[in-house]
Each structure stands twice: as structure tokens, then as C-alpha cells.
Amino acid sequence: MHKSLIAVAAMTFAGAAFAQSSVTIFGVVDTRVAYGSGSVANKTQLASSGMNASRLGFRGVEDLGDGMSASFWLESAVNADDGSFGTTNTNNQSSGSAGGGAMVFGRRSTVSLSGNWGELRLGRDFTPQFWNLSEFDPFGTTGNGTTQTLNSIITGTTQVRASNSIGYFLPKETLNGFYGQGMYYLGENNSNAVNVVCTSPRVPAGCGVSTKNDGSGWGVRLGFKSGPFDVAAATSRTTNAAGSPRQSNIGGQWDAGVATIMAHYSRDKGVVNGSMRNAKGWLVGGLVPVGAGDIRISYSQYAVNLAPAPDRITKKWALGYAYNLSKRTALYVTYARLSNGGGATQALNGATTAANGSSTGYDMGIRHRF
């Protein structure tokens, strides 16, 4: 009798809760056969995320009335080839890596308030400076074809996401095509944090440099989209006592009907071998609809200035085709070829190459969304 009453009460409470809000379970399972060759070693593997990043997520929204809503988004990376989960970072610094295969919502963990004034979003999220590299890359910065402006980037732990962030998004409906995002994120260090503690009688070199602001930073992105055109620019800075990375880029696309042309250009600053260095890169590519799918093609390169030594540079061609079996399921294949110069050692799909060597990679996989 008591158990029945408890069950009825629980069902009544659950019904009331879901009447006020909607909750969705969503995700992607993407698995590929990945082969990479290099001048030192080749590798064949069953890998995750060749077309879209594998993930498992939960999101929900509640209508607060008067055009206001509250929402949450929890999303975890999944390694679809072995069932393990991804990692996250707790403080936007190298010391903050966490997860190690346990389920963590490292892709996104946010709570939001939205209205006709825009959206206020708190938690772990994509940084504004990342979006131009991903949205204006025919391969969406996933798999073997990912642009080298991301694969070779030197800007550290906040190049894609930031934890402990406060973000604001402009309203999408009322600005005649203009859109934007601003973010401030925290490293959450103690106010007396230093890089090396000063001790006597032998005082360590460089001791006492404050690191209280390490991992804190900001980013901003502004764009305009109208009809077939979309263009956006972004810039950011993350504080670090060893050298504060900066990331700036601009990108765009034009849907010409027969093809969507994409391009982006980036200028970055980061620590390389203990010194602050400048880098720049660019991509040009496109999506060409063919049958029930599309051809994806791109050329990208990224060069790090190591003067007086030659620039460390990597160049990549990528070509792929994705065939849609349905709205949710697709088969895909990707070929990529890269070459290194100036001592670069980049390789594809887990292969290993010597300095200034080249590498070839192949992906063949299936992607299902739910």
C-alpha cells in the first residue's frame, strides 16, 4: 500500500516536472577504420570520430514566460571504438587535465538564461576563437581532414574550449544578420600563487613570478550572415606567466548552389620550446553536393616563426566523400596528405614521421546521429 502511494507520488512529481520543461538525450556514434603512414612508422586502427565527434549529451529547456527561458546542456565525448569517455580541463591550464576515461561532460557543461536580449551562458563551452576554424572547414575540424590551422596550433588549452566561463550571445532574430559571442573565463588560482617558490640559501631562477591569473582570459567573435554569405572574425587572449597565448582569425563561406566555398585565415601567438612565437595559417576549401552526399575538399597550412631558424610549416591536402543513407546515418571516406618543413613532424592517424617528412592518411567509416 505504502509502496503504491510512493510510486503514484513519484509519477505525479515527474509528470509535473516534465510538463514545465523538455529534456532531450542526443548523441553521435562515429567509428572509422583509420590508416596512417609516415617515414618512421605506420599505424592501422579502429578509431572514433572521423566525420562528426562521437558524443553523448543531455539538454533541456524551460519556458519562463515573457520570452524568457532557462536551459542546460551536458555533453561528453565518447570514444566509440572502445567505449571509453574523453577528458576535460578544470582550470584552463596544463595542470587541470581530468577524466582519463571516466564519464565527464568535457565537451560542454552549461546552464543558460535566454530572452530577446540574448543569452547568458555559464560553464564549460566552446571558445569564440574556435568557431571560425571549425565552421569554415569543410571537414568540421573532425577526422583525418581537419585543418592544419587547428592541428598545428600553438595557443594552448583554451584553443577549443574553456572551463569556468561566463559567456554572452547576441540575439539571433533581431539584428538583421549580425551575430556575436563574448566570453570571459577563469583560471581559479589562489591570489598568492607563484611559478616557483623562493627559498634560501639558493634562490631559484625566476622565482616569485605570480601565476594567480594563469588560465584566465577572454574571447570575442562577431559575424554577419545574409543569404548565401557568412563571415566572422574572432580574437582572444589567455593569461599565462610563461607567455600569454593570443588567437585571432577571420573566416567565411559562400553558398553558390553548385558548391559552398569556405576559407579562413589565422594569426596566433604562443609558447614554443620555452619562447613566445608567432604563427599564421590559412585554409581554402569547399563542399560540393553530389547525389545523396557531398564531396569535401580543402588545402590548409600552418607556419610557426622560429627566426632565425626557418619557419616550422605543415601543409595538407584533404579530399573526402560522405554518402547519406538517411538523415541520421552516413558512410564516408577521407584521404589526406601532408608535408612538413622547417623541422615539423606532424603525421596522420597515429603514424610517426621524421622531421621534414610526409604522411598519408585514410578514413573509412560510418556515422549515426540520434
pLDDT in tens, 318-344: 999 999 999 999 999 999 999 999 999
pLDDT in tens, 168-216: 999 988 899 999 999 999 999 999 999 888 887 777 777 889 999 999 9
pLDDT at residue 146 greater than cutoff 50: yes
For residue 147, what are the contacts with CB-CB under 8 A and spacing of at least 6? 133, 137, 139, 141, 264, 281, 283, 298, 300, 316
Average pLDDT over residues 118-124: 98
Top mean pLDDT of 2-11, 79-88, 124-133, 207-216 is at 124-133
The answer to whether residues 293 and 321 touch, using CB atoms and an 8 Å cutoff, is: yes
Domain ranges of the chain: 23-369
pLDDT in tens, 57-91: 999 999 999 999 999 999 999 999 999 999 999 99
Average pLDDT over residues 255-265: 98
Predicted TM-score (pTM) of the model is: 0.90
Cis ω for the linkage preceding 308 (within 30 of 0): yes
Q: Could you tell me the fold of the domain covering 23-369?
A: Porin (2.40.160)
Vertex 51: Cα angle to 91 and 32 (nearest 5): 100
The pLDDT assigned to 20 comes to 59
